[in-house]
């Protein structure tokens, strides 16, 4: 259980859902300088506790992999909803440099972003 700033006690699962919703709603992932300590500070968590929560509720991903998975999910949505946006603009919008975006994208989806986009339009 975790005591939030307003003294409501949250289970680790509820805390993960709150953190995840905040990262997505406030687009914290879009900040390329977002770090684990930013989330730790915001929610009053120790590093080990945040790591344990991510291990259980984010499929065993560490913080960087978890944030990058959100970035890639958002990028895929943008490719589908905003076909006029360039891959470079999408990468920057989700908080990744173009080279890192291409690497992360290929690792997750098995193709580069441009090929993926074309396959989605077919």
pLDDT in tens, 39-98: 999 999 999 999 999 999 999 999 999 999 999 999 999 999 998 999 999 999 999 999
Q: How far is 78 from 95, CA to CA, in rounded Å? A: 13
Report the predicted TM-score, pTM, of the whole model to 2 decimal places.
0.88
Show the domains of the chain with their CATH numbers.
2-62 (no CATH), 66-121 (1.10.10.60)
Note whether 19 and 36 are within 8 A (CB): no
Q: How far is 52 from 62, CA to CA, in rounded Å? A: 9
């Amino acid at each position: 259980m975790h005591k939030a700033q307003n003294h409501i006690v949250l289970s680790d699962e509820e805390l993960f859902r709150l953190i995840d919703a905040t990262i997505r709603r406030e687009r914290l992932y879009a900040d390329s300088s977002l770090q684990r300590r930013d989330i730790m500070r915001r929610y009053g968590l120790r590093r080990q506790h945040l790591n344990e929560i991510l291990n259980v509720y984010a499929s065993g991903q560490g913080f960087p992999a978890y944030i990058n998975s959100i970035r890639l999910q958002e990028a895929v949505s943008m490719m589908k909803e905003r076909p006029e946006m360039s891959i470079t603009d999408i990468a920057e919008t989700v908080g990744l440099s173009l080279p890192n975006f291409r690497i992360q994208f290929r690792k997750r989806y098995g193709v580069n972003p441009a090929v993926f986009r074309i396959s989605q339009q077919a």
